[in-house]
Amino acid sequence: MTVVPHTPVRRGVMLAVLTLLGLAAVFAGYLLGQRQSGLDRTYLGVLEDQKRAGEVEVAALKQRLVDGELVREIDQQAAATLRENIKTLRDDLGGLKEEVTFYKSLMAPSSLSKGLQIAEFEVFGGEAPDTYNYHLLLTQVADRRNWIRGDVRIDVIGRQDDRLEKGEHRLEIGERVLSLTDLTDIDTYPLKFRFRYFQDLSGLLALPVGFQPERVVVTVVQQGNRGNDLQQSFEWSVQQD
């Protein structure tokens, strides 16, 4: 047998030391964990900031894309409008050139009959059914043009297509002559004119239902020149605008 000395104090000290070492290890682990946790929170915060910055950038890029599409669409519409305006201006220019040529011809007495002339009468379709717009152009061709005045009467001649039933017979109404007062509301009739070179007269015609126009008779009476009325007949023809 070996006899071991009994040393309770030494054992207690060692136990205490081991206990302290364990507590120190636990505390060190706690501190390390806290530090790592702080680092994780910091990194997480950085990631959150980067995410928010990325979202802002993406939103800005989306807005720039929308703005770019809008600008492109506006540019396309502006270009189309510009092309249409150029076409309209060209058409208007062509029409003005034709009018200038026409009016120049009116100013050349050597090429036309002298005196008061019915230069033009045209009919255009109106907005409502059986309605029409008329245009009458009067001119004076002379070496020396004085003021002239007078009256204009317009009559539309045609046939009434309404049919009246009487027993087994059908009666058709024949030719009718409608004055301008029958076709439109007008304050003064005959129409008045006064000019030196030319004058345009225009207005609205509203035909009765079933009336088929065939021709228009224009009668011009110049003041101071009674007995020499100017009358001209035009076939009914609706012009395209």
State the Cα–Cα distance between residues 117 and 139, nearest whole angstrom: 5
pLDDT in tens, 10-47: 666 676 666 767 666 666 666 666 666 666 677 677 77
Percent of the chain whose pLDDT exceeds 90: 36
Q: Please, which residues bridge with residue 177 across strands?
A: 157
pLDDT of residue 166: 46
Query: What is the average pLDDT across 51-66?
Result: 84
Torsion-angle region of residue 224: left (phi > 0), alpha (psi -120 to 50) or beta?
Answer: left
CA distances from 237 to 121, 133, 215 (A): 10, 12, 8
Q: What is the DSSP letter of 161?
A: -
Residues with Cβ within 8 Å of 237's Cβ and at least 6 positions away in sequence, in order, are: 123
Check pLDDT > 50 for residue 200.
yes
| Whole-structure pTM value | 0.55
pLDDT of residue 168: 43
Query: What is the average pLDDT across 187-195?
Result: 94
